[in-house]
Structure 1
Amino acid sequence: MNEHPAAEAAPTVIPVESTEGMDEAREVGVGPWSGPWPEGDHYDPELLAGGDRRNVVDRYRYWRREAIIADLDTVRHDFHVAVENWSHDFNIGSVVRTANAFGCSAVHIVGKRRWNRRGAMVTDRYQHVHHHPDTGSLVAWATERDLVLIGVDNLPGAVPLETYPLPRNAVLVFGQEGPGLSEEVREVCAAVLSIAQFGSTRSINAGAAAAVAMHAWVRAHVFAQPVPDASTT
């Protein structure tokens, strides 16, 4: 991803703290390759020899990590996700995992640099994750790229997500568990959207809310049906 030359506006890539292997006991994936090895620089000789137990879809079995990232970069969607992290929110890992599943362009952590990676289930090894020290840095980065900040929180006056036309070039912004979106973020968002709820709880888990919002974007821009031309009917 191209970074803006201005240091104050450009995010820094968060170092990966690998949790690879934490699910080894479940025997997921495939064993060593049987027969003549396939040709191609994208294959990892160590995985071909020892097996591939990673949390990846079958298409990427035995692929090098760098090759997987490069291939994903050709199909990632236009939307981004940003999460406020002022008190080490434990939901960020699940947000990163869901962002990877929905083909999110990148996840942006605003606030504290460190976050709990266990919930990411190692998907942070393949998902672009950037850090912004404060809201102003995120806003500057998004503005430079013509990205629209859209907050997601069940606040008074929020617009229903179910009826709002999500822009393609959106950054879906989520607050941390409990407090929700900070006042500073609310002021810079083009809109704040709420997710319809019908039970007794005041709110849903921040990771679940992020999944609902990302799926709404995918439905709007990946599976949207073209409007029939009235002149041809």
Structure 2
Amino acid sequence: MSEPASAAATDSRGHDESVGVGPWLGEWPDGPQWDPELLEHGDRRNVVDEFRYWSVAAIAAELDARRDPARVLHVAIENWAHDFNIGSVVRTANAYNVAGVHIVGRRRWNRRGAMVTDRYLHVHHHSDAAALAAWAEAEGLPLVGVDNVPGSRPVEGYALPPRCVLVLGQESTGLTPAMQAACDVVVHITQYGSTRSLNAGAAAAIAMYAWSHHHPPR
């Protein structure tokens, strides 16, 4: 079996002009995970080398198979004003292989920041906080809000549950009162500067890292 051809071309200054890998050279590999179109034309997607030339469905199935049922993380995002940070939250959720992303409120959201990573995730919609809470209760998953509101607990010292839903609010207003009431606990990320809050995408990344630090894959 041949190795994939590199797609990296350089200009006169030695800078890369392309990303990913080019068409597969030689005999194609055999298996249901391989995408014939990618093998023929190259794979320039933002995926790790392990998944080069794999179909979207095969990658999603493999990510599902790698999750430990005892360690399950979901991420929910309130979407009342088409928050542009949702895409970056989804991209980070893919990086941490979360079991699902839940959009609460408006169904439509800006996918540009997701860099098509939503194709490898299970994305769900809930009309409001009560609907998300009902789903989480049926699944046996506590809701953990992430917001620096009165009564919240610092995430640095909080033992995040191995199975839970991290719930994030809008960039401007944070978690709505209804969502705060629906959460089993609300945690915050301790800050030391003058700004009132972190960017929602940055806060989501820190919260997901905090969870994975407590519950790394086996």
Q: How does the TM-score come out when normalised to structure 1?
A: 0.83
Using a 3 Å threshold, how does the CA distance of structure 1 residues 56 and 165 change in structure 2: closer, same or farther?
same
Structure 1 residue 185: Cα displacement: 0.6
Q: Structure 2: 5+ residue runs without aligned partners?
A: 1-15
The answer to whether the aligner puts 1:135 opposite 2:129 as a matched pair is yes
Q: Aligned pair in 2 of structure 1 residues 207, 26: CA closer, same or farther (>3 Å)?
A: farther
Count of aligned pairs: 200
The answer to whether the 8 A contact 2:130-2:182 is kept is no
Deviation at 1:204, TM superposition (A): 0.5
Distance 1:64 1:216 in 2: 31
Gaps of at least 5 residues in structure 1 are 1-24, 225-233
| Correspondence for 2:26 | 35
2:120 alignment counterpart: 126
> Of 42, 45, 57, which residue of structure 1 is paired with 2:48?
57
Q: Determine whether 1:85 maps to 2:113.
A: no
Q: Following TM superposition, where does structure 1 have runs of at least 4 consecutive aligned residues deviating by more than 2 angstroms? A: none
SS in 1 for 2:24: coil
Separation (CA, whole Å) in 2 of partners of 1:42 and 1:75 = 15
Q: CA-to-partner distance for each residue in 1:27-48, whole Å, 9 max, x for gaps?
A: 2110000111111111011111
Aligned to 2:90: 96
- Match of 2:109, SS? coil
Structure 2 match to 1:171:
165
Query: Greater strand share, 1 or 2?
Result: 2
Q: CA deviation at 1:110?
A: 0.1
Query: Separation in 1 of the partners of 2:117 and 2:93?
Result: 9
What is the CA RMSD across the aligned residues, in angstroms? 1.4
Name 2:181's counterpart in structure 1. Answer: 187
Name 1:68's counterpart in structure 2. Answer: 59
